[in-house]
Amino acid sequence: MRTRQNSFVAFLLLVHVLLPLVLHTSATDGLFRINLKRRPLDENNRIAARVTARATESSRSSIRKFGYRGTSSLTDGSDTDIVALKNYMDAQYYGEIGIGTPPQKFTVIFDTGSSNLWVPSVKCYFSVACYVHSKYKSSLSSTYQKNGKPAEIHYGTGAISGLFSQDYVKVGDLVVKNQVFIEATREPSVTFLVGKFDGICGLGFQEISVGNVVPLWYNMISQGLVKEPVFSFWFNRNADDEEGGEIVFGGADPNHYKGNHTYVPITRKGYWQFDMGDVLIDGRSSGICSGSCAAIADSGTSLIAGPTATIAEINHAIGASGIVSQECKTVVSQYGKTILTLLLSERQPKKICSQIGLCAFDGTRGVSIGIESIVTENDGSAVGWGDSMCSACEMAVVWIQSQLKQNQTQERILSYVNELCDRLPSPMGESAVDCSRLSSMPSVSFTIGGKVFSLKAEQYILKVGDGPATQCISGFTALDVPPPRGPLWILGDVFMGAYHTVFDYGNMRVGFAQAA
């Protein structure tokens, strides 16, 4: 039981586990599919989980991107390549590629939140992660071309460094020629030590590509390998099925969605970013995105991430329990009435916290939880934790303002805000719920392109374990990006599992339809 608990804690502190096996199928309709499947937990996973548990205190990583892994188990000489996976989490999805001639096999996350391809290098000598993953050896490839320039990528849960190289890359039945990628010679993060995947295949825009390298997806298009400049994801959220999902290059598989896609234009190239409307909790506005928010569709993030104030409201509504923020309760008890009075006097909400002396900036500082959610900005800047009292004040302003619009009494407003303080996510981002209450939990909806996309409890709650030991985790985690870039929402696998997602590069848009 102790080992099981340690594994669960490790899962919370790092990222969520993937459940795939890869099947390459020949494309007879001009579409190229990579199927993702599952296998039960094996001894390698148990060892990896124990390593993660021991590393918990030193890693302190938030739940954000990617998964775990022990070692890969690949079957050579077959159309079906098997990766040993933990099979009780629908939290991450990855498939297989080949690099070089003949192809050297690697499992990668197809990540729309980054733009570089990297795999471990045989030249990686001093990172333990490299010893438990497949490694690229250039001397075995007849199509390898030396580059040698240094490279480094920072993700939300770790960093890799190495050197650029060039070779052929096989994805399904497609062979991309002369692709520049990174041979990782250092993988110091525990995330990559226990990650089930070998590397990352970025499907974002060149604007966020490290070294301004042309992404693999761009080369698929320029080399005429796909019928249309479109790729799409289907993530299977049925844990009883062997098949885990698929990514289709060149179009979309009609077998895996219902009705028509709702498309929204890309508003900022880099990530697949678009404008999103109001977030609804049980059909009622949360208030934070009524004037629109930026959002990105990110296949490399397990959960749905959003502003702490709204995540706390959602967790309150679904009964999720996080760590109590004493700063939040202190602000409410000492300044709650003042904030309420200032809002009633029609003061500018964004300036209230600076006016009462809790924030250093006058209306330009956002609530900040400080993560590098995808990759570090090109200028090296990163979002960081701000003063906790300022953060608590700004959240209280949002909550009180929302309650005032509902004509609540002062007593009820302050009581409600105190309850929200109790629902703030823990520093590691996780919030637990009572598994027996799923049927009574409200829907959580996102307005995209004028259409409401709703998630039911069974879609936004992740179950960990089996039988009496099952634990249920909220699929919502906090991410605060200050203006002008934020507030920002990341619609990860929890959302993309419910809604088939099309990334239309030719028309610069993203589309969503009910998954089938």
Statement to judge: residues 348 and 272 lie in one domain: no
pTM of the model: 0.72
Range of the domain at 348: 326-367+385-422
Confidence (pLDDT) at 426: 61
Is residue 122 located within the same domain as residue 38?
A: yes
* 308 and 331 belong to one structural domain: no
How does the average pLDDT of the chain come out, rounded? 78
Same domain, 341 and 415: yes
123 close to 182: Cβ distance less than 8 angstroms: no
Residue 144 confidence (pLDDT):
98
* Residue pLDDT, tens place only, 440-467: 999 999 999 999 999 999 999 988 777 7
272 lies in some domain: yes
Query: Is residue 249 in a domain?
Result: no
Residues 159, 96 within the same domain: yes
Contact between 402 and 286 (Cβ < 8 Å):
yes
Place of tokens 């992740």: 462
Are 313 and 334 found together in one domain?
no
Phi, psi of 276 (to 5 degrees): -120, 145
Nearest to 307 by CA among 155, 158, 424: 424
Query: How high is the pLDDT of residue 82?
Result: 23
CATH code for the domain in which residue 485 is found: 2.40.70.10
Q: Are residues 111 and 201 in the same domain?
A: yes
* Predicted local confidence at residue 101, as pLDDT: 98
Last residue of a domain, one of 204, 233, 262: 233
Q: Is residue 92 part of a domain?
A: yes
Write down the pLDDT at residue 425: 65
296 shares its domain with 360: no
Q: For the chain, how big is the Rg over CA atoms in Å? A: 23
- For residue 285, being part of any structural domain is answered with yes
Check if the beta carbon of residue 244 is closer than 8 Å to that of residue 234. no
**Claim to verify: residue 443 and residue 296 sit in the same structural domain:** yes
380 part of a folded domain: no
The helix (run of H) or strand (run of E) holding residue 175 is strand 174-186
Q: Is 198 assigned a catalytic role?
A: no
Domain membership flag for residue 262? yes
Q: Are residues 158 and 305 in the same domain?
A: no
Q: Which of these is catalytic: 81, 90, 111, 480?
A: 111
**What is residue 24's predicted lDDT score, i.e. its pLDDT?**
31
Q: Which of 167, 278, 298, 480 is catalytic?
A: 298
Quick check: is 29 catalytic? no
The secondary structure element, H or E, covering residue 341 is: helix 326-344
The per-residue pLDDT for 320 is 86
Q: With a cut of 50, which residues of the chain have pLDDT below it? A: 1-28, 37-64, 66-88, 323-324, 364-386
Query: Do 224 and 93 fall within a single domain?
Result: yes
Residue 246 domain flag:
no
Q: What's the pLDDT at 35?
A: 67
Does 457 lie in the same domain as 500? yes
Q: Count up the domains in the chain and report the number.
A: 3
Per-residue model confidence (pLDDT) at position 283? 94
